[in-house]
Amino acid sequence: MFGNDLVTLPNFPAEIRAPQGTLPGVSSFQVHFADHDILTAGDAPDVLVAMNPAALRANLGDLPQGATIIVDTHDFTARNLTKAGYESNPLDLLGDANDPLGAFAVQPVDLTGMTVEAVKEFGLSRKDAARAKNMFALGLLSWMYGRPTEPTIAFLEKRFAKVEAIRDANITAFKAGWNFGETTEAFVVSYEIKPAPMAPGVYRNITGNLALAYGLVAGGVQSGLPVFLGSYPITPASDILHELSKHKAFGVTTLQAEDEIAGIGSAIGASFAGSLGVTTTSGPGIALKSEAIGLAVMTELPLVVIDVQRGGPSTGLPTKTEQADLLQAMYGRNGEAPVPIVAPQSPGDCFDAALEAARIAITYRTPVMLLSDGYLANGSEPWRIPEIVDLPKIDPAFATAEDLTEDGKFQPYARDAETLARPWAPPGIAGLEHRIGGIEKADITGNISYDPANHDLMVRTRQAKIDRIADSLPPLEVDDPSGPPGHGKAKVLVIGWGSTYGPIGAGVRRVRKAGHHVAQVHLRHLNPFPHDLGDILHRYDKVLVPEMNLGQLSLLLRGRYLVDAIGYNQINGMPLKAAALAEAIGGLVADAEGVTVDLTPQEAGK
C-alpha cells in the first residue's frame, strides 16, 4: 500500500498443534521491506518481536549485534522459561555484567497486559483480549517504521465485520500500540522507508501457491481448455487445491482424491477427454505418482505435474524448504521416460512458470514437471498483474475428421513435423477412435507392438520430442555488466535454478558493490536445457552452482557439458543466506582473478 518492495518468509512447525512454549513449537513470520528492489526476505532481522521465552531463544541466533528486541514480558513465567530451556530469566540480567542480551537493544514491554487493559471496554474474555496483542505489536512497529495506519484499520474493519467486539478490540489494540510508540521515551528512533521505484502497473502481494493457481487458470483461458485438478492434500502444495476450487467460473474442476495415485490418474483421464489435466503434490507424492507419470509419457497426453518441494527424504521436513527433487523429476521413472522440467524463481514468477508449463504440455503432448518449493509457496512479494493481451495464446490443435487418411483411417501416432507431437483426439469424434494405454505403441498406427526395432524408434522419438522444446525457448539472459558474456571482465559465472534466484542475485550484488566482476544466469528450463547454455558455461573460467541440495544441477551440468561446476550446497530447510553466498562468490573471484576480495561488513552483511 505504501509502495515499498517487500519479500516475506513464514516459518512454522509441521505439527498441527506443536508443544506450546517449546522451541519446536515456535512459529515466525519475517518481512523485509525497502525503498529499492530487494530479492530476499533478509539474512538477519533488524527487529525481533518475541512473544515468549521460546520465541526469543529460537530466533536470537539470527540477529546481528545491535538489533532491537521487543519482548512481551507477560509470558516470561518460570514455567515458560523452563520449557524454553532457560535456567533463569534473561530479562532480570539486563544491564548486568553477565547480561546474555547485552549485544542487543532490548525493549521489555508488557504487550499482553497493556492490550488487555486497552480493550477491556469491549467485554471480551481475558483469553480473547490477549489475542489482540499481535495488533498492539503491529501498531508499535507501524509507528517505528512510519507505516500508514489507514490500510491496516480498513483491513481489520473488513476482516472482522461480522463480530463488532472483535473488530473494535483489534483496532483499539492497534491504535494503542501506535500511541505507545509515539508517547514512550523507550523508542528514541523512528524510521521512514520511502516508496521503491517500480515499473508502472497494478500490483498486488502474492504467494507462490496463489500465483501457481492463477497461472493454471490463465493456461486454461489462453488455450480455451477446461482445467481439471486431481490432487491429494499435502504440505506445502495444498493451497493450490484450495484456491483452484474457488474458480469454477473459469471452467476449473477440482477433485480431492483419496490418494496420490488416484489424483494423477483422474488428471490423466481428464487430459484424455480434452481438458488440461493437472496434479499437485510434494516430493513424497511424486514418488507415488511416478508410474502414472510414465503412463502419461507413453500415451503422450498433456499433463502438468506440480511438485512443491520440501525437506526429505520420506516425510522429512514437511514445512521446510528444499530443492532436492531435481534428479527425481529428471530420472525418477522406469524406462526411458523423458519429461520437461520448468522451475519458477520467485513467488510472482510462479504465475509465468505455470503458464509456460501449460504451453509445453499442450503443444508437445507431454507431462511437464514444475518444481516450486516451500519458500516460494508460502513466501510473498509484490506482483505486477499482467495485461491479458500480453499473455501467450496456446493452441490445443485437436485432431479432427480432416486428419483422416484418404482411406478414412486415423493415425494416432503420426507426428507434427515441427514439434513431433502426436494428434490429440478426445473421445466422441467419429473416425478418431484409437487405442490408449501403457503398452508400447506402434509408430503411426498406435497398435500394440512388441517389435524391438519399433520400441527403439519410439523411445528415441519421445526423447527427440522433448529435445525439440528447446527450439521454442528464448536465448538465456546473462547478467554480466562487465561486458558481453565471456568477453567482459568477469571470469566467474554463478548459475542457479528455482528459489535460489533471490539469494544468488543479492550475493552477486554485494560482490559487485565491493568492486569486483561476476556474471549470473538463472535457469527456468531444466529439461531440455536451452540451446545456448553450453556455450555460455564454457566462456567463463569458473562456474558456481548454489543449490539447496547436495549438487544435483552441478551433476547434470558436469555430465552434459563437461564443465568443472563447483557446488555451493545447503540443506538446512531454510533459504540460502545472501551474505554467506557473497563470501563464497568472492572467494571464487579471488581465485580466478588472482586478487584479494575484501567484502566490508556493510557489503557482506546488510
SS (H, E, C) 244-308: HCCCHHHCEEEEECCCHHHHHHHHHHHHHCCCEEEEEECHHHHHHHHHHHHHHHHHCCCEEEEEE
Closest C-alpha among 557, 529, 527 to residue 366: 527
Report CA-CA distances (Å) from 347 to 33, 67, 107, 322: 16, 28, 34, 15
Instruction: Report percent pLDDT > 70 for the chain.
Output: 99
Q: Do domains 203-390 and 492-604 have the same CATH topology?
A: yes
10 Å Cβ neighbour count for 202?
A: 9
Give the H or E element holding residue 241.
Answer: helix 238-244
pLDDT at 600: 63
pLDDT at 185: 82
Place of cell 566462456: 539
Burial class (CB in 10 A: 0-12, 13-18, 19+), 220: buried
10 Å Cβ neighbour count for 591?
A: 15
The region that residue 556 occupies, defined by phi over 0 for left and psi between -120 and 50 for alpha, beta otherwise, is alpha
pLDDT at 606: 45
pLDDT tens readout for residues 226-241: 999 999 999 999 999 9
pLDDT tens readout for residues 132-177: 999 999 999 999 999 989 999 999 999 999 999 999 999 999 999 9
pLDDT tens readout for residues 426-457: 999 889 999 899 999 999 999 999 999 999 99
Instruction: Report percent pLDDT > 90 for the chain.
Output: 90
Domain spans in the chain, listed from the N-terminal domain onward: 5-183, 203-390, 397-472, 492-604
DSSP class of residue 35 equals S
d(CA 400, CA 424): 9
d(CA 87, CA 383): 46
d(CA 370, CA 357): 7
Of the CA atoms within 13 Å of residue 441, those in its CB half-sphere come to: 21
Q: Answer whether residue 602 shows pLDDT above 60.
A: no
pLDDT at 190: 83
Q: Answer whether residue 603 shows pLDDT above 70.
A: no
Phi first, then psi: give them for residue 224, nearest 5 degrees.
Answer: 75, 15
pLDDT at 570: 96
CA–chain centroid gap for 511, Å, is 25
Q: What is the CATH number of domain 492-604?
A: 3.40.50.920
Closest C-alpha among 501, 479, 602, 592 to residue 547: 501
Asked if residue 127 lies in contact with residue 166, where contact means CB atoms within 8 angstroms, the answer is: no
| CA quadruple 277, 311, 212, 567: dihedral sign | negative
Q: Answer whether residue 332 shows pLDDT above 60.
A: yes
pLDDT at 597: 74
10 Å Cβ neighbour count for 371?
A: 26
pLDDT tens readout for residues 483-533: 998 889 999 999 999 999 999 999 999 999 999 999 999 999 999 999 999
What average pLDDT does range 335-343 have in this prediction?
98
Asked if residue 539 lies in contact with residue 559, where contact means CB atoms within 8 angstroms, the answer is: no
Q: Return the minimum-mean-pLDDT range out of 184-188, 198-202, 305-309, 591-595.
A: 184-188
pLDDT level of residue 97 (50, 70, 90 thresholds): confident
Contacts of 456 (CB under 8 A, 6+ apart): none
DSSP class of residue 311 equals B
pLDDT level of residue 604 (50, 70, 90 thresholds): very low
pLDDT at 601: 54
d(CA 282, CA 374): 9
Strand pairing category for 492-497 and 519-523: parallel
Q: Return the minimum-mean-pLDDT range out of 17-31, 127-141, 329-343, 527-541.
A: 17-31
d(CA 456, CA 459): 5
Report CA-CA distances (Å) from 134 to 114, 115, 140, 173, 244: 12, 9, 10, 8, 30
pLDDT at 176: 97
Grid coordinates representing 210 are 496463489
Asked if residue 506 lies in contact with residue 449, where contact means CB atoms within 8 angstroms, the answer is: no
CATH class of 5-183: alpha beta
Q: Answer whether residue 2 shows pLDDT above 90.
A: no
Phi first, then psi: give them for residue 40, nearest 5 degrees.
Answer: -135, 170
Burial class (CB in 10 A: 0-12, 13-18, 19+), 532: middle
pLDDT at 605: 45
Contacts of 407 (CB under 8 A, 6+ apart): none
User: Residue 120: what residue type?
Assistant: K
| CA quadruple 114, 117, 121, 122: dihedral sign | positive
Q: Answer whether residue 599 shows pLDDT above 80.
A: no
**Average confidence score pLDDT of the chain:** 95
Closest C-alpha among 253, 397, 230, 237 to residue 304: 230
pLDDT at 298: 97
d(CA 182, CA 184): 6
pLDDT tens readout for residues 25-75: 999 999 999 999 999 999 999 999 999 999 999 999 999 999 999 999 999
pLDDT tens readout for residues 376-406: 999 999 999 999 999 999 999 999 988 899 8
Cα-only R_g, the chain: 27
- Which fold, 203-390? Rossmann fold (3.40.50)
